[in-house]
Amino acid sequence: MDWSYTIWIPLLPLIGFLIIGFVGRKLPYPIPGLIGITGIFGALVLSYITAYKYFFVVNADMTFEPIKAVETLWMTFSDKLHFNMGVLLDPISVMMLVVVTTVSFLVHLYSLGYMKGDPGFGRFFTFLSLFTFSMLGLVIATNLFQIYFFWELVGVSSYLLIGFYYEKPSAILASKKAFIVTRFADFFFLIGILVISYYTETFDFLTLNGMSESALASAGSTSFMGMSVLALGLTLAFVGGAGKSAMFPLHIWLPDAMEGPTPVSALIHAATMVVAGVFLVARLFPMYYHVDGGIVLSIIAFVGASSSLIAAIIATTQMDIKRVLAFSTMSQIGYMMLSLGVSGYDGHHGLGYTASMFHLFTHAFFKSLLFLAAGSIIHAVHSNYMTKMGGLRKHLPITHITFLLASLAISGIYPFAGFFSKDAILDAAHMHSPIYFWIGWFVAGLTAFYMFRLYFRIFWYEDREYHHTPHESPLTMTVPLMILALLSVVSGFIFFYILPFGTYITPTGEEFHMHIDWTLAGLSLAIAVVGIFIAWFMYFKKNNKAEKVANSFGMLYKWAYNKFYIDEIYMFVTKKIMFGVVSAGWMWFDTKIVDGSMNLIGNTTVKTSYAIKKLQSGKMQDYVLAVVVGAVALGAIFIYIWTR
């Protein structure tokens, strides 16, 4: 079958980007948006066709072989290492194509309404198309360098979109922070790529994943600080992934990234770009599993679990609704990482891998829905703070219902989407180690609590007076909400019972049967219900219970509210030490020592010449005197020597 048309999936948004960027930016509303939407719609259709053909036509025998649809040499590094660009189709990349194009299309549609009247409307769609192109290029990457290429491009699109309101100082700071923190992580990623490619002599994913355990062991026979070099390289690559996916302690950029327009938060900082780290680990999963007996996976599991827990704790205390959702995103991505980290390889042991991808899939829908609904709320209330909200269910009926459905989905209530994927993750964690299960279980409770804290606080709590009466958003905004709500409700159910994920997306390609362990599921359902109940108790009606509870936690609450002061630590290290001491010190060294010594040489030359120029006075008597004195002195020396 000819797959070469798949190259158009990323190219259509690229063409959209070029058209809007060069000619369409200044056109009147809504033409730039329509150009962008046309591009992404084309990509959406092609992705769906590809998914259908890949899963149901070509691989009807359930083998799911990876297919290199297109591959071309882009740049030669050396005789062994080539930088190729291509399209790799395998279960996870095809799934990602569907996720990215779906969410991106809906976000484009939503933005048509949300960004109406903004002077940067054309610019917004330019960047959005650039992002979509980059993200699609990332998921279809055939090799490490291609993924790095698009990895940087999504980073810069994210930078441009976070700083979209470029006259706002907080947006400038947030965009800088996001770029620099992820860049710092990418520095490790790049070194990881260099290490891996140096020892395996390839960038190609299929070759890397196809290497047997013994081949990997011999390629990575050099050891570095107790780890084989390949394990080191994979760890470094994971650091890059952790930066992009906002894992602790590289998460500090994500909450600030909420300065961007809300549709951007929904697309980039909830559904697509932030899961790139998870995708990277999944992409190289066979290699992660086989190098050094999966030592790197245990690091990943630990990072995932701790990020998940820390983020959930912080989320319960934040007041800005977008920041709550940001920490929620971080927490859910922590789940995905944990799930990959605890996963085995063959058959049912590969559940963690499957569960991670499943959760990525469902999370994309309900989290982008939550963000878009939050955007609708902010659009109506003109504030991000939940203290400025309350009783909105009457004013925003569609937003209210969709937000509720998404909250139920993320809280893991049966039969909403989150239940199935989260249950699979907890199941996988339980197979690996009970500790991870209990952490995940506790986080599930926190998730239900903070989500319903938001829900009750925004839509119930009190019927307050608004300065401008809030009104429901236009159809371009509510239709995407309704579509995503539908997906949030059914995507778990469908992909568990009808087209089970375990059949289509597994580490080895072999299918296994997914089932629900009702003991574990019951436990997680129970804690979710408890979480919802506590939230109801505290936030259903206006009261001061929340404050009391906060006070009773004392220091812990304060720490969590201030995000455990991690930002402050970073600021101290970068501002005070790196740029205060190192940078200023080197600048002093440059002007005083390096340049100073050059000036010293220059000045000394000048002074010396001033000093000796007096000898050349131009007066005859001085010269005669010098001749006489010289002759006498020479004569004295000669006489002294002769008479010795």
Partner 1 sequence: MNILTLLVVIPALTILGLIFTKGYKQARVLSAIGMGLQFVATLYLVYMYFQARGAGNTDAFLFDQNLVWYKSLNIHYHVAIDGIGVLMILLTSVVTFAGVFASWEVKDLTKEFFIFLIMLAMGVFGFFIAQDLFTMFVFYEIAVIPMYVLIGIWGTGPKEYSAMKLTLMLMGGSALLLVALLGIYFNSETATGLHTFDMQELSKMHFPFAFQKFFFPFAFVGFGVLGALFPFHTWSPDGHASAPTAVSMLHAGVLMKLGSYGAFRVAMYLMPEGAVYFANFFLVLTGFSVIYGAFVAVRKTDLKFINAYSSVSHVGLILFALMMFTKTAFTGAILQMISHGLMTAMFFGLIGMIYGRTHTREIYKMGGLMKILPVISATYVIAGLASLGLPGLSGFVAEMNIFVGAWENPNLLNRVFSVIAISAIVVTAVYILRVVGVLLMGPLKNPEHANLPKVKWFERVVIILLMGSIVGMGTMPLWITDTIRDSLIPIMEKFVH
User: Measured between alpha carbons, how far is 588 from 599 in angstroms, rounded to an integer?
Assistant: 15
Task: Give yes or no for residue 75 binding partner 1 (CB under 8 A).
Answer: yes
* CA dihedral angle for residue 199, residue 205, residue 209, residue 211, rounded to 10 degrees: -40
| Residue 260: DSSP 8-state | S
Q: Which residues pair with 71 in a beta bridge?
A: 86
3-state secondary structure of 194: helix
Instruction: Give Cα separations from 355 to 39, 352, 427, 436, 626 (angstroms).
Output: 32, 5, 9, 15, 99
Task: Give yes or no for residue 197 binding partner 1 (CB under 8 A).
Answer: yes
21 vs 66 by CB, closer to partner 1: 21
Task: Give yes or no for residue 265 binding partner 1 (CB under 8 A).
Answer: no
Per-residue mark of binding to partner 1, 428-467 (x: CB under 8 A): ----------------------------------------
Closest CA to 126 of 17, 226, 41, 203: 17
Which position has the token pair 């964690």?
429
Task: Give yes or no for residue 348 binding partner 1 (CB under 8 A).
Answer: no
Q: Which residues pair with 87 in a beta bridge?
A: 70
Instruction: Give Cα separations from 110 to 26, 346, 404, 482 (angstroms).
Output: 20, 42, 19, 11
User: Measured between alpha carbons, how far is 455 from 486 in angstroms, rounded to an integer?
Assistant: 18
Task: Give yes or no for residue 74 binding partner 1 (CB under 8 A).
Answer: yes
Cβ-based neighbour number of residue 621 at 10 Å: 8
Upper half-sphere CA count for residue 200 (Cβ side, 13 Å): 33
2 vs 167 by CB, closer to partner 1: 167
Whole-number minimum distance, CB 130 to partner 1, in Å? 10
Q: Which of 78, 212, 519, 609 binds partner 1 (CB under 8 A)?
A: 78
Q: Which of 172, 227, 486, 516 binds partner 1 (CB under 8 A)?
A: 172
Task: Give yes or no for residue 176 binding partner 1 (CB under 8 A).
Answer: yes
Task: Give yes or no for residue 595 binding partner 1 (CB under 8 A).
Answer: yes
174 vs 310 by CB, closer to partner 1: 174
Are the C-beta atoms of 351 and 427 separated by less than 8 Å?
yes
Whole-number minimum distance, CB 414 to partner 1, in Å? 44
Upper half-sphere CA count for residue 129 (Cβ side, 13 Å): 31
Task: Give yes or no for residue 570 binding partner 1 (CB under 8 A).
Answer: no
Q: Which of 518, 579, 623, 638 binds partner 1 (CB under 8 A)?
A: 579
Whole-number minimum distance, CB 15 to partner 1, in Å? 14
Q: Which of 583, 603, 604, 608 binds partner 1 (CB under 8 A)?
A: 583
Q: Is 491 exposed, middle or buried (0-12, 13-18, 19+ CB in 10 A)?
A: buried
3-state secondary structure of 441: helix
Task: Give yes or no for residue 577 binding partner 1 (CB under 8 A).
Answer: no
| Residue span binding partner 1 (CB under 8 A) among the ranges 96-104, 175-183, 294-302, 634-642 | 175-183
Q: Among residue numbers 123 through 152, which ones bind partner 1 (CB under 8 A)?
A: 145, 148-150, 152
Task: Give yes or no for residue 15 binding partner 1 (CB under 8 A).
Answer: no
Task: Give yes or no for residue 18 binding partner 1 (CB under 8 A).
Answer: no
Q: Which of 57, 215, 499, 584 binds partner 1 (CB under 8 A)?
A: 584
Q: Among residue numbers 500 through 559, which ones bind partner 1 (CB under 8 A)?
A: none
Closest CA to 236 of 199, 272, 269, 274: 199
| Residue span binding partner 1 (CB under 8 A) among the ranges 60-68, 75-83, 258-266, 394-402 | 75-83
Counting residues that bind partner 1 (by CB under 8 A) gives: 47
| Residue span binding partner 1 (CB under 8 A) among the ranges 191-199, 307-315, 423-431, 464-472 | 191-199
b/e 318-329 (16+ beta carbons within 10 angstroms → b): bebbbbbbbbbb
| Residue 76: DSSP 8-state | E
Whole-number minimum distance, CB 393 to partner 1, in Å? 38
User: Measured between alpha carbons, how far is 457 from 106 in angstroms, rounded to an integer?
Assistant: 27
| Residue span binding partner 1 (CB under 8 A) among the ranges 188-196, 274-282, 418-426, 515-523 | 188-196
User: Measured between alpha carbons, how far is 304 from 352 in angstroms, rounded to an integer?
Assistant: 13
Q: Is 222 left (phi over 0), alpha (psi -120 to 50) or beta?
A: beta
Task: Give yes or no for residue 606 binding partner 1 (CB under 8 A).
Answer: no
Are the C-beta atoms of 341 and 300 separated by less than 8 Å?
yes
Token pair for residue 541? 């009606």
| Residue span binding partner 1 (CB under 8 A) among the ranges 290-298, 386-394, 426-434, 586-594 | 586-594
Task: Give yes or no for residue 71 binding partner 1 (CB under 8 A).
Answer: no
Q: Which of 23, 62, 194, 627 binds partner 1 (CB under 8 A)?
A: 194
Are the C-beta atoms of 446 and 316 separated by less than 8 Å?
yes
Task: Give yes or no for residue 190 binding partner 1 (CB under 8 A).
Answer: yes
Task: Give yes or no for residue 198 binding partner 1 (CB under 8 A).
Answer: yes
Which position has the token pair 């993924």?
147
Whole-number minimum distance, CB 594 to partner 1, in Å? 5
> Residues interacting with partner 1, by CB under 8 A?
73-78, 81, 83, 145, 148-150, 152-153, 156, 159, 163, 166-167, 169, 172-173, 175-176, 179-180, 183-184, 186-187, 190-191, 194-195, 197-198, 579, 582-584, 586-587, 590, 594-595, 598, 602
